[in-house]
Amino acid sequence: MQLNRIILAPMEGVLDYYVRQILTEINQFDYCVTEFVRVTQHKLSNRTFYRLCPELYNEGKTLSGTPVRVQLLGQSPEWMAENAIKALELGSYGIDINFGCPAKTVVGSHGGAYLLQYPDQIFNIVTQVRTAIGAIPILSVKIRLGWDDKSRCYEIAEAIEQAGANEIIIHGRTKTDGYKAEKIDWSTIGKIKQKLTIPVIANGEIFSIADAQNCLTQSQTNDIMLGRGILNIPNLANKIRFKHSPLNWQEVMQLLLRYAMTPIEDAKPLYHSARIKQWLAYLRQNYPQASILIPEIRQLKSQNEICNFLKTKLDNKSN
Ligand SMILES: Cc1cc2nc3c(=O)[nH]c(=O)nc-3n(C[C@H](O)[C@H](O)[C@H](O)COP(=O)(O)O)c2cc1C
């Protein structure tokens, strides 16, 4: 299958505005989805939306021009609809709805992947959001293949299409599968696609050009979404699209330094060190040098210390 679109996945607590900024500068993504925002029984404030998606100050685009879509997670059709209207008014590039999150707190309060057990509720939420926002804005829905088995995946996908979504993003695992690599099932995504007329975006376990090709072949889609893979190899999207070489370690270190130097409003004291450590943990899958830095960075607390440490490493080129 021919590759058409590559989309940057939402990753709560990882892929924030600053990382989106960096990754969309060095890759050609078709759009990004924000981390999810939890919708309960009220309208979220402007402040909440701008914190989640500062790109709303820039007409819903990253500084390099990639559109960004706000992702909502909730179980109340009315409040999902109200908040979808608001996100669009503030400039979001469409709306994405999350029915895939497996986090205990989320499923415990009957949101995210929990709703995969109730296709009727999914239908109601998507219908109400579509009715509220009107026919024009793009509405996408992100799901897994099911809760603990895949038996209802077609019913879920058809409900989403009938409710008026423009596209569906499918992470090819059930909630129970978690992130187990051996559970990835791109071919069921392909079987779902055969039943739908709306575009299907395949997601899950794409870490290389070969993975992308296998995913496209098995899922019979033209569109893929990259999550953890882009953190492992920060230019993975361009590697897949243009056969670019992976960034070398010096280039990766420059990205890390840039991230570390970014002043982050209201940042907690350990924000930078936690985030840099987190990114290094992904990078070590492909860059052995990252494993060496992790214990050293662990000793550092302040933003200054981390920046100086990374600068020294870059200057010495001894890492
Ligand atoms: C740390 C983390 C946070 C995530 N946060 C979200 C989220 O906010 N919304 C969402 O729809 N999916 C979220 N996901 C799921 C990813 O978007 C993606 O579906 C999943 O990681 C599979 O793709 P991958 O194998 O390319 O990583 C998250 C995944 C991880 C690992």
Q: What is the pLDDT of residue 314?
A: 92
Tell me what the mean pLDDT of segment 26-32 comes to. 98
Report domain extents, the chain: 5-242, 249-318
pLDDT digits (tens, 9 = 90+) for 78-113: 999 999 999 999 999 999 999 999 999 999 999 999
User: How far does residue 319's CA lie from ligand 1's centre (Å)?
Assistant: 30
Q: Give one DSSP letter per residue of 239-267, joined into a string.
A: HHHH-PPPPPHHHHHHHHHHHHHS--TT-
Tell me what the mean pLDDT of segment 125-142 comes to. 98
Q: What is the pLDDT of residue 268?
A: 78
CATH (one of 3.60.21.10, 1.25.40.340, 3.40.50.2300, 3.20.20.70) for 5-242: 3.20.20.70
According to DSSP, the β-strands at 68-73 and 200-203 are unpaired
Is 205 known to sit in a ligand binding site? yes
Q: Which CATH superfamily is domain 249-318 in?
A: Dihydrouridine synthase, C-terminal recognition domain (1.20.225.30)
CA separation for the pair 9, 103 (Å, rounded) = 17
> Residue written as tokens 């959001």?
129
Q: What is the pLDDT of residue 319?
A: 45
CA angle 101, 193, 114 (to 5 degrees): 20
For atom 11 of ligand 1, which residue has the closest CA? 98
CA separation for the pair 254, 89 (Å, rounded) = 36
If one counts every other C-beta atom within 10 angstroms of the C-beta of residue 117, the result is: 16
Q: What is the pLDDT of residue 120?
A: 98
Evaluate whether 156 touches 113 at the Cβ level (below 8 Å).
Answer: no
Helices (H) and strands (E) in the chain, counts: 14, 8
Alpha helices in the chain (DSSP H): 17-26, 46-52, 77-89, 104-108, 119-133, 153-162, 186-195, 209-219, 228-232, 236-242, 249-261, 271-283, 288-298, 303-316
For residue 244, give the amino acid letter: H
- Ligand 1 first shell, C-beta below 6 A: 9-14, 35-36, 71, 98, 100-101, 142, 171, 203-206, 226-229
Choice from 39, 105, 171, 179 to test ligand 1 binding pocket (greatest atom count within 8 A of CB): 171
At 284, is the pLDDT very low, low, confident or very high (cuts 50, 70, 90)? very high
This model's pTM is above 0.85: yes
According to DSSP, the β-strands at 223-226 and 31-38 are unpaired
User: How far does residue 100's CA lie from ligand 1's centre (Å)?
Assistant: 9
pLDDT digits (tens, 9 = 90+) for 157-191: 999 999 999 999 999 999 999 999 999 999 999 99
With 80 as the cut, is the pLDDT of residue 317 above it? no
